[in-house]
Amino acid sequence: MPTLSRLGPQDVRAVIEAFRDALRSHQEELNRLNVYPVPDGDTGTNMALTLESVVAELRTAESMAEVCKAIARGSLMGARGNSGVITSQILRGLVEVFAVHDSVGGAELVAAMRCAADAAYEAVMRPVEGTILTVVRETAEGLERAAAAGHDSLEVLLEHAEAAAHASVLSTPALLPALAAAGVVDSGGSGFTLLIAALRHVHDGRPLPEPAAVSATPRSVERHLAGDDIANLRYEVMFLLDATVATIPAFRETWMTVGDSIVVVGGDGLYNCHIHTNDIGAAIEAGIQAGKPHKIRVTDLFEEVEAEEQLWVREAVGDIVESEPVETAVVAVAVGEGLRRLLSSLGVQSVIAGGQSMNPSTAQILEAVEAANAQSVIVLPNNKNIIPVAKQVDSLTTKSVAVVPTASVMEALAALVMYDPEEELAPNVEAFNEAVEHVRSGEVTQAVRDSHAECGAIAAGDWLAIARDGGIIAAKPTTAEACTSLLDFLVDENSEIVTVVIGADGRASDAERIREHLKLAHPQVDFEFHEGGQPLYPYLVGVE
């Protein structure tokens, strides 16, 4: 393949496609660089899904202006999570410069990388050094130094960009103590180096870097590519499975490729199995291969949810099925049927499926905002990675949109108690923010790797008590112990109400232990328990 002196529009398109391919193959490697030992290390996944949206937007683009416009729109609408938003801003900065030229050479690359770095920093309210922001900025500075030294060829400048990007990634642990403590480099910065690799791949044909360990495309992206995001999984399949313990790991792995909301619990030859899927036959066939499934039950979730929603609406407001127009509507992000119902009962008009490891895109949030029966809409992201994605929506709609930066669904539940649908946007936002300030929240989840945190050493499989204002405060052998430790940390003499939301993996016996602990250890508080059905986090806790 000949070395290119300049990149035309189809070369720029090829760079984006190569960047997508590289992110896809390195995605699990990037995810594993997450320094927190919880099941939400999704930097690679969010970057890959963001690029999938960009590539989809490029299908009909031909001229440089069309290619750049498609990249800008695809990255904006498809951005997922904090890493996806920053990646989208980097791409938008690049094409802002590229778009006014018929082709891209060395000078244009230098200017574009500076524009990309500036755009990335502008997207973050409180920039943190030692992240992808540092890497893109130091790459831009490396290019500027090379240009000042008289280098102007695309080939030489790309060599300098690659060297600067890799050196910057290696220096991230020195800038961010959490990375140094975990013994890793920054995940987002590592992902950015794949963009430079894609530029060099298109420029002179050198192969894209191979991941450190070959792994299959992760399940979440496989489903995304097939149009099977979690919100679109239609059937719930449940059965009891007679099987030996040796067959269960392979059974779980097979199920992970055909669905989500997977629960496989039991032992001594009998397992209770649950999955949401679009392929009933494959789900049951996996059970037959593992053992003997029986008491099989299949539920059409779309029909069930529609019937339940109509029943709930009739009970609440008579025979009116469609939501009536309001002054201010609320859109929230959550996953779990129980949480969806709970949020709806508090007035939320639309609940977008998403949360840890399942960050919705800007386009999905925009769609919910546009569908809301109001000209003013509050968005409750309920996850720190979704906040920057939600904040992009206001500029994309004629409606007035405000984001209350809820980092957990427990904060959203506290805020919604103050919701007045007939009040204007500003007073509702003020009331929501005030309510959020008075709630302390936390969650229980399982460690996915050995680590070390505020509480000390953590082993893979430990149950972690995580407080929003205290980090990981305990690592325990059981969910009940982790939850009671979390409650002891959150509840003080001023606490009045405790809310516990039980997830898909929460057990009734554990919930009863938690209730008894509250009665004995914190008799001054009132408490309520709700079935949320959320995956990965068996207990969510809010204290007011």
Pairing mode, if any, of strands 539-543 and 497-502?
Answer: antiparallel
Question: What pLDDT, on a 0 to 100 scale, did the predictor assign at position 302?
Answer: 55
Confidence (pLDDT) at 125: 66
CB-CB neighbours of 407 under 10 Å: 17
Mean pLDDT confidence for 204-219: 71
pLDDT at res. 39: 58
| Assigned token pair, 198 | 């894609």
Pair 120, 86: CB distance under 8 Å: yes
Between CA 261 and CA 18 the distance in angstroms is: 32
Output the pLDDT for position 154: 95
Mean pLDDT of 357-371: 85
Q: Using CA atoms, how far apart are residues 491 and 494, in angstroms rounded to an integer?
A: 8
In percent, how much of the chain has pLDDT > 90? Answer: 52
Q: Which of 31-35, 71-75, 96-100, 492-496 has the lowest mean pLDDT?
A: 31-35
HSE-CB at 361 with a 13 A cutoff on CA atoms is 24
Helix, strand counts (H, E) of the chain:
20, 16
Scanning the structure block, which residue is given the tokens 């709806």?
344
- Please, what is the average pLDDT of the chain? 85
9-204: CATH topology is 1.25.40
When pLDDT is cut at 50, 70 and 90, the band that residue 77 belongs to is confident
Mean pLDDT for 209-232 is 53
Contact of 225 with 168, CB cutoff 8 Å: no
Burial string for 79-95 (b: 16+ CB within 10 Å, else e) reads bbbbbbbbbbbbbbbbb
DSSP letter for 236, please: E
Which run of H or of E encompasses 426?
helix 425-437
CATH 3.20.20.60 applies to domain 323-437: no
List the Cα angle 8/12/14 in 5-degree steps. 115
Between residues 281 and 49, which one has the greater pLDDT?
49
| Domain extents in the chain | 9-204, 228-303, 323-437, 442-543
| Biggest CA pair distance of the chain | 76
For residue 481, pLDDT over 90 is answered with yes
pLDDT band at 427 (very low <50, low <70, confident <90, very high): very high
User: Strands, E, within 130-254: which ranges?
Assistant: 235-243
Span of 245-249, 263-267, 532-536 with lowest mean pLDDT: 263-267
At residue 221, the pLDDT reads: 45
Q: What's the rounded mean pLDDT across residues 432-461?
A: 88
Q: 293-327, pLDDT tens digit by residue?
A: 887 777 766 554 444 444 433 443 333 335 678 99
**Residues 504-518, mean pLDDT to the nearest whole number:** 88
Average the pLDDT over 463-482 and give the result.
92
* Same-fold call for 9-204 versus 228-303: no
Beta bridge partners of 376: 328, 400
| pLDDT > 70? residue 231 | no
Check residue 2 and report its DSSP letter: P
Q: What is the pLDDT of residue 68?
A: 96
CATH of 228-303, one of 3.30.70.2730, 3.40.190.10, 3.40.50.720, 1.10.286.10: 3.30.70.2730
Distance CA 507, CA 463 (A): 14
Predicted local confidence at residue 152, as pLDDT: 92
Q: Please tell me the predicted confidence (pLDDT) of residue 234.
A: 64
The model's pLDDT over 166-181, given as tens digits with 9 standing for 90+, comes to 999 999 999 988 788 7
CA distance 473 to 368: 36
Locus of tokens 């204007």: 424
Mean of pLDDT values over 247-254? 86
Segment 12-70, tens digit of pLDDT: 999 999 999 999 999 888 887 876 666 555 788 889 989 998 999 998 899 999 999 99
CA triple 148-149-155, angle to 5 deg: 95
Give the SS3 label for residue 443.
strand
Per-residue pLDDT of 336-358, as tens digits, reads 888 888 898 889 998 888 776 67
Q: 144 pLDDT exceeds 70? A: yes
DSSP E strands, 171-285 = 235-243, 259-267, 270-277
The CA–CA distances, whole Å, from 25 to 40, 47, 190, 290, 356 equal 19, 12, 13, 30, 22
pLDDT at 365 over 70: yes
Q: What is the number of other CB atoms lying within 10 angstroms of the CB of residue 318?
A: 8
* Nearest in space to 142 (alpha carbons), one of 116, 111, 164: 164
Measured between alpha carbons, how far apart are the two ends of the chain, in Å? 64
